[in-house]
Amino acid sequence: AQTVTQSQPEMSVQEAETVTLSCTYDTSESDYYLFWYKQPPSRQMILVIRQEAYKQQNATENRFSVNFQKAAKSFSLKISDSQLGDAAMYFCAYPGAGSYQLTFGKGTKLSVIP
Amino acid sequence: EAGVAQSPRYKIIEKRQSVAFWCNPISGHATLYWYQQILGQGPKLLIQFQNNGVVDDSQLPKDRFSAERLKGVDSTLKIQPAKLEDSAVYLCASSSSRGGFSKNIQYFGAGTRLSVL
């Protein structure tokens, strides 16, 4: 069974500072994608960033970047220059090849302190 | 471009009653997903449709849950009869399914929060 583990139930960061959210996953596949989704109190899941496993370069989207360690099966999200609007639940997700469903971690609740 | 639409936003029912949720995916998206998100957990897939056919419903409690996607567009998810443990947020998502399922981004609706009393 595919598993996605987020070991930090809650994190906090000062506004304008940098925070890193951790995620590990289990797979026997070699080619796959990984996703980070954000879920604000409005409940709508919003894609933050995705990483292609066969690409060695870490994905970057504005203030969001990932540290992808394929051998360690680690996929952490770094948020730079944190803003109040970044406060939300963050979910790591893995859609295993051959399995169409997204498997989500339990999430990390991020608080941004003004 | 309009996003995934879901209704209602909230629903409160008593146990053993029935309830239905509606989802309209992004135009042109062939794949539609229903997820259940229990408080404090990540979403869990209930059922996946490709056009109007079921791709995966292995985690759908079929004794009480049913779903359909007529004409390959809108979808409804029904619970009958509801149990206390069905209290959750029900999320609908859609994707275009081009280039292989695992690569496609899933776009989510705002979900329906169900409370079963």
**Residue of A46, A47, A97 lying closest to B102 (CB–CB):** A97
Best residue in B106, B107, B112 for a mutation probing chain A (most A CBs within 10 Å): B106
With a pLDDT cut of 90, the percent of chain A lying above it is 70
For A20-35, the pLDDT digits (tens) are 999 999 888 777 889 9
For position B88, what pLDDT does the model report?
Answer: 97
DSSP per-residue letters across chain B: ----EEE-SEEEE-TT--EEEEEE--TT--EEEEEEE-TTS--EEEEEEETTEEEE-TTS-TTTEEEE-GGGS-EEEEESS--GGG-EEEEEEEE--TT-GGGSPPEE---EEEEE-
Residue A64, pLDDT > 90, answer: yes
Write the residue in A37, A44, A102 that is nearest to B45 by C-beta: A102
* Mean pLDDT for the stretch of residues A78-84: 97
Q: Using CB atoms, which residue from B31, B42, B107 is nearest to A106?
A: B42
- Nearest residue, CB atoms, A104 vs list B42, B105, B107: B42
Cα A36 to Cα A104: distance, rounded to the nearest angstrom: 9
> Tokens standing for A72?
């360690």
Mean pLDDT by 10 residues, chain B (117 residues): 91 97 93 94 92 89 94 94 96 81 78 96
Please check the confidence at residue A56 and state whether its pLDDT lies above 90. Answer: no
CB distance A33–B103 less than 8 Å? yes
The pLDDT of residue A53 is above 90: no
State whether residue A11 sits within 8 Å of chain B by CB.
no
pLDDT of residue A60: 92
3-state DSSP call for residue A85? Answer: helix
Whether A5 contacts chain B with CB within 8 A:
no
What are the angstrom distances between the C-alpha of A31 and each of A2, A27, A51, A95, B101? 15, 10, 11, 11, 12
Alpha carbons B90 and B5: distance in angstroms, whole number:
12
Task: Give me the helices (H) in chain A, please.
Answer: none
Radius of gyration of chain A (CA): 14
The answer, for B42 touching chain A at a CB cutoff of 8 Å, is: yes
Contact of A30 with A19, CB cutoff 8 Å: no
Q: Which residues of A touch B43 (CB under 8 A)?
A: 45, 91, 102, 104
pLDDT given at position A29: 79
- Closest Cβ–Cβ partner in B102, B103, B108 for A44: B108
Residue A36 scores a pLDDT above 80: yes
Please write the tens of the pLDDT for every residue from A94-107: 876 555 678 899 99
Cβ contact A33–B102 (<8 Å)? yes
Question: What pLDDT, on a 0 to 100 scale, did the predictor assign at position A97?
Answer: 56
Nearest C-alpha in A relative to B45? A101
Average pLDDT, integer, range A75-80: 97
Q: Would you call B6 an interface residue with chain A, using a CB distance cutoff of 8 Å?
A: no
Mode of pairing for the β-strands spanning A10-14 and A108-113:
parallel
For A:61-90, CB contacts with B below 8 A are none
3-state secondary structure of A84: helix
